[in-house]
Amino acid sequence: MGFLNTILLFLKNLLFVYLNLCVVFISIAQEIDEIENIIEKLSIEEKIALCHAQSKFSSSGVPRLGIPELWMSDGPHGIRAEMNWDDWNYANWTNDYVTAFPALTCLAATFNPDLSLEYGTSLGEEARYRNKDVLLGPGVNIYRTPLNGRNFEYMGEDPYLSSKMVVPYIKGVQQNGVAACVKHFALNNQEKWRNHINVQVSDRALHEIYLPAFKAAVIEGKAWAIMGAYNKFRGQHCCHNKILLKNILKDLWRFDGVVVSDWGGTHSTIESIYNGLDIEMGTPSDKNISHRYPYQNNFLGKPFLEKIISGKVDDTVLNDKVRRILRLMFRTSLNKTRPFGSINNSKHYKTAYNIASEGIVLLKNSESLLPLNKFKKIKIAVIGENAKKAMSVGGGSSELKTDKEISPFSGIKKEFNNANVVYARGYSSNNDNSHELINKAVSVARDADVVLFVGGLNKNAFQDSEAEDRKQFELPYGQIKLLKEISKYNKNIAVILISGNAVKTDWKSDVKAIFQAWYLGSEAGNVIGDVLSGEINPSGKLPFSFPEHLKDNGAHHYGEKSYPGIDGSQFYKEDILVGYRWHDTKNIKPSYGFGHGLSYTTFELLDFQIDKKKYDPKETIKVSCKVKNIGDVDGKEVVQVYIGKKNSKIKRAKKELKGFKKVFVSSDNSIEVNINIDIKELAYYDEKSASWKVEKGNYIIYVGNSSRNISGEIEITIV
């Protein structure tokens, strides 16, 4: 009877799955029929109106048929405050305050896809509450140079990590009936000259480094929208680039969603018509034509209409765009089953706190300066403008309006209420009174038991900010001079770096501890205080390398031709060797390597195993190891699996990340970690055949907790 019951249960579950699939297929068929019926009812003018903006952040609906507008909002770390209808000024509403979530560099540093899902879900709920249909994010452009002003909005230098983190984010957002618009497609890896720089990169680097996260977003994440980039690729602007949007995105990847231009990123009617752009946004309006319809003369406005009416462009091209837009509407603004959403609640603040707490990276902790004992009466000097500076504002389109952003200083005072906490600004981003500020900071530091230096970058122009790259790799605003002065009088210095980018750390020998704190959002100070006291054991890992010198970075090694470009063009001379791939392959030691991150406890990685030694290309490698916590503090560790090819016939990086898993291990305990890697993940992009190939031969599996700290190696063969 037991066997029969098992069979019956299996059949029952199979029937349940079948019936659900039937419901899904029927629903899809009904949606298709409804979309086609709508297309038949639309006039040409109404179809054209769907293809371009009607305001700064919306595109038209069809009032005659009850089809609503599409409303978009900047992200990706929160829902931007409401803007005026047709200018870049804020509308000054009183009900558009939101939760500020940590920047995506912090999310990537968690190495925790579960938190990415939680992030996307909470963000989608806030977007839905604000009646937004399309969230303009996440960003997954690759961290190529530490000077890129917009790196803080992206997920680091590794395409595998970015791919694994972006998919759950998208699913979380879209389960709220809000489209994730993944950006900026593609090769938007610098802000300097972003509107015209012409990127030249090999097909192999394009497919292996710069496209995988977008591909995962489309194929695995089922993203409903993609935003084009400002820059050019091989001479053609990315918002209407035939190779990227038509050949790759829509033909090869079978993307069924909508391509949205970046704001002002459209430059051609003909290219927009034929090369895959669906909705043109942000092109300056002509207010002289009509106050009600100022965007009708955009590239996909009246010029597009005239070409359809004259017969120069077949209406099947227009109908494809309209069909995609209507499909997006049925997923969002016409979706009758989507939830209502919520905003600024305790659940969202808890999500922001959790991500920040797992994203902070402990870079250095000599003499175990951290954590500080919050119950011991010590004098703490907090020095640095960033200790009190709000970081949710500024930075460009990702800036937020929030009524809660706990500053580092406030969080530290709250956490160490038994200590004497004093503050000195130390430096100013306005470069005023530098001598006086330094003297005051030195005076405060001299009398303290511990100095907490809260510095780094900010979201001012030429820092971590849209539209402009950084002008220097070093810490700005005289912070290095200030640190050296303080270190003459107090050696117990912990540096809290607030930034979305790597900085030069040639001052690290002057301090005992450093942790990378990113832009942490609403709960910033609370999390920083809890990390300093040991309430949180840091577990973040760097999603990009910190080079010792700027020239140690692959993009900068080749000079101006590679970055920022010469005569309007730049060549990605480092090719596939981006980030740690460059450092490891060229044997250039970074200041802090990709995947690096310390803990208040000590972990050992032991007993490395694989299921067998030989594999064919269709199989899966099963890697296992033991993580042992030999310290006296509970904590989380990230096991990272890299793979490299021995004696490869093609140019390769020494090793590439192909698997990772974050695990909790209590003090004096161990846990077994299993990571599966499909052999197809080891394929390289063959430019001659324009296909992916797995090279046969011997490979090395590297298991460690960073790209520079490998605990075990295993050799395998692919036959």
In eight-state DSSP terms, residue 207 is I
Positive or negative torsion for Cα 209, 211, 216, 221: positive
**Residue 281, C-beta contacts closer than 8 angstroms, at least 6 positions apart:** 52, 53, 57, 59, 72, 260, 261, 262, 263
pLDDT tens track for 71-120:
999 999 999 999 999 889 999 999 999 999 999 999 999 999 999 999 99
Return the pLDDT at 165.
Answer: 98
Q: Quick one: which of 531, 542, 553, 465 has its CA closest to 708?
A: 542
Return the pLDDT at 294.
Answer: 79
Return the pLDDT at 72.
Answer: 98
Distance from chain centroid for Cα 559: 27
Return the pLDDT at 432.
Answer: 80
Return the pLDDT at 24.
Answer: 47
Return the CA Rg of the chain.
26
Tokens standing for residue 40 = 């038949």
Positive or negative torsion for Cα 146, 180, 656, 197: negative
Q: Which helix (H) or strand (E) holds 643?
A: strand 635-645
- Mean pLDDT across the chain: 95
pLDDT tens track for 704-718:
999 999 999 999 999
Find out whether 215 and 173 touch, Cβ atoms under 8 Å: no
Cα 246 to Cα 229: distance, rounded to the nearest angstrom: 14
Return the pLDDT at 398.
Answer: 93
Return the pLDDT at 16.
Answer: 64
Find out whether 190 and 146 touch, Cβ atoms under 8 Å: no
Phi/psi at 169 (5° precision): -55, -50
Helix (H, G, I), strand (E, B) or coil at 378: coil
Find out whether 157 and 542 touch, Cβ atoms under 8 Å: no
Residue 127: burial class (beta carbons within 10 Å; 0-12, 13-18, 19+): buried
Cα 274 to Cα 317: distance, rounded to the nearest angstrom: 7
* First CA to last CA distance, the chain: 46
Q: Quick one: which of 623, 488, 600, 621 has its CA closest to 538?
A: 600
Q: Quick one: which of 547, 551, 555, 621 has its CA closest to 584?
A: 547
pTM of the model: 0.94
Residues in the chain with pLDDT values less than 70: 1-3, 6, 8-9, 12, 14-29, 286-293
Longest dimension (CA), the chain: 87
Q: Quick one: which of 641, 715, 634, 649 has its CA closest to 684?
A: 649
Active site residues: 262
Find out whether 604 and 668 touch, Cβ atoms under 8 Å: no
Ordered by where they begin, the domains of the chain are: 42-331 (3.20.20.300), 360-538 (3.40.50.1700), 601-718 (2.60.40.10)
